[in-house]
Amino acid sequence: MLNRLSAKEREHLAKVKALPCSVCDAPGPSEAHHVKQGLQYTCVALCESCHRGDHNGWHGGRAMWRIKKMDEIDALNVTLKRLSAH
């Protein structure tokens, strides 16, 4: 399956990646974590550690997520708030 992004989707992802991490507030650039693969507008801005880190990351032990008492929807809410503020 080819994932061909529209210009608007690429623009949105670039804006998400420019944000600070939605979990730990580490300054951007961030990675875009897809809440559901293929849905470009449900991406969360995450630093590498909160995204893919062995201990803190969503795809790892999720320690920082537990400390902050957050799930993907909480982090998506932070991302959307920050996008709307710009």
Taking only the tens place, the pLDDT of each residue in 2-19 is 568 899 999 999 999 999
Establish if 31 belongs to a structural domain: yes
Domain span including residue 57: 7-85
* Number of domains making up the chain: 1
Establish if 55 belongs to a structural domain: yes
Establish if 2 belongs to a structural domain: no
For 39-72, the pLDDT digits (tens) are 999 999 999 999 988 888 888 888 889 999 999 9
Establish if 62 belongs to a structural domain: yes
Establish if 36 belongs to a structural domain: yes
Q: What is the mean pLDDT of residues 18-41?
A: 95
Answer yes or no: are the C-beta atoms of 45 and 37 closer than 8 Å: no
